[in-house]
């Protein structure tokens, strides 16, 4: 009797998966599962400037195996070169206070979910020989890592995700423009946020990124409770990045709330489409493979 295929980590409930290990462990599981059915990119980019060695992977061109290393250590190693990267990308992560929230103890906060997504996308890009950098922001820039394609870059990104954040505001415009400046030639900017930000500032920053020739994808991270009010009785609604509080009976505002959220999502979709940017709503109860597919699709569209 044939044995069942193992469950792919990128398709598992994100909260359950995240409880099984540290962020770098989970990201490796997710990317390993995600890459299972993908074809390796046929594009080549080797140049004369040597950068580092990396372990051989099935499908690598045997011309670039260093046979002297094989003879000395019995390990198959591939020569990588500085211009081997196909694409340069920068991930922009919102770490403001509104992101540090979950509508249920059984789900990850928006920020924890987003951090796992960042780690997985960064590892995916590096394994695909792309250079990736990171910008974290709240009411100020918290992290600025220029794009690199070396394995050590992923460890830097994972380490940066553990740094402080949760400031009271979202200076997304500054974060996006900083990311656009990090990429010297047309590449990818991936924005991960709950989009509780000033739309005008966001639009202006994305115009700058698009004018520089970058492809932009915005992953709108939302908790299911933000999409559909599941509370009962009276509740206090408050602005996590301000001081406004409103008390209301949930049943009285549920339909109006749903219409408002749907309108806001459609408004973002139309505005970003007009700017030539990709846009996807990602729920925090969705498997990590969902945002990975969005990010990978963006990379594949580059010429």
Least confident of 74-78, 94-98, 232-236: 232-236
Contact between 194 and 222 (Cβ < 8 Å): yes
Label residue 154 by pLDDT band (50, 70, 90): very high
More confident residue, 173 or 244: 173
Which residues does residue 176 pair with via DSSP β-bridges, in sequence order? none
The CATH homologous superfamily for domain 85-301 is: von Willebrand factor, type A domain (3.40.50.410)
The pLDDT value given to residue 72 = 73
162-181 pLDDT, tens digit each: 887 666 677 888 899 999 99
- pLDDT higher than threshold 80 for residue 8: yes
Which residues does residue 52 pair with via DSSP β-bridges, in sequence order? 80
Classify burial at 163, counting beta carbons within 10 Å of its beta carbon; exposed 0-12, middle 13-18, buried 19 or more.
Answer: exposed
Query: 128-131 contacts: CB < 8 A, separation 24 or more?
Result: 128/41, 128/86, 128/299, 129/41, 129/45, 129/80, 129/84, 129/85, 129/86, 130/85, 130/86, 130/87, 130/88, 130/89, 130/299, 131/85, 131/87, 131/88, 131/89
The pLDDT value given to residue 37 = 53
Task: Tell me how crowded residue 97 is: count the other CB atoms within 10 A of its CB.
Answer: 20
The pLDDT value given to residue 302 = 56
80-110 pLDDT, tens digit each: 554 445 789 999 999 998 999 998 999 999 9
Cα–Cα distance, 187 to 88 (Å, whole number): 5
Extents of the domains making up the chain:
50-83, 85-301
Mean of the pLDDT values across residues 191-203? 91
The pLDDT value given to residue 223 = 96
More confident residue, 276 or 250: 276
Cα–Cα distance, 26 to 302 (Å, whole number): 28
């Amino acid at each position: 009797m044939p044995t069942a295929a193992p469950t792919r980590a990128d398709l598992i409930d994100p909260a359950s998966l995240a409880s099984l290990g540290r962020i770098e462990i989970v990201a490796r599981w997710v990317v390993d599962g995600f890459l299972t059915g993908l074809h390796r990119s046929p594009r080549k980019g080797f140049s004369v400037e040597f950068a580092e060695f990396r372990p051989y992977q099935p499908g690598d061109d045997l011309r670039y195996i260093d046979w002297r290393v094989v003879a000395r250590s019995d390990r198959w190693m591939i020569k990588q070169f500085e211009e081997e990267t196909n694409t340069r990308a920068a991930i922009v992560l919102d770490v403001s206070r509104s992101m540090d929230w979950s509508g249920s103890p059984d789900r990850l906060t928006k920020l924890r979910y987003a951090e796992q997504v960042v780690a997985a996308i960064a590892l995916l890009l590096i394994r695909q020989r792309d250079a990736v950098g990171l910008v974290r922001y709240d009411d100020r820039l918290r992290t600025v890592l220029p794009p690199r394609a070396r394995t050590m870059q992923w460890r830097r990104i994972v380490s940066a995700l553990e740094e402080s954040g949760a400031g009271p505001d979202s200076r997304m415009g500054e974060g996006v423009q900083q990311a656009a400046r990090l990429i010297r030639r047309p590449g990818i900017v991936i924005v991960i946020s709950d989009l509780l930000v000033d739309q005008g500032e966001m639009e202006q920053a994305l115009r700058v990124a698009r004018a520089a020739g970058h492809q932009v994808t915005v992953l709108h991270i939302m908790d299911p409770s933000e999409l559909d009010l599941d509370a009962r009785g009276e509740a206090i609604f408050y602005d996590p990045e301000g001081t406004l509080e409103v008390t209301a009976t949930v049943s009285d505002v549920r339909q109006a709330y749903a219409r408002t959220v749907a309108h806001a999502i459609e408004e973002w979709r139309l505005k970003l489409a007009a700017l030539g940017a990709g846009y996807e709503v990602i729920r925090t109860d969705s498997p990590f493979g969902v945002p990975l597919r969005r990010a990978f699709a963006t990379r594949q569209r580059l010429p």
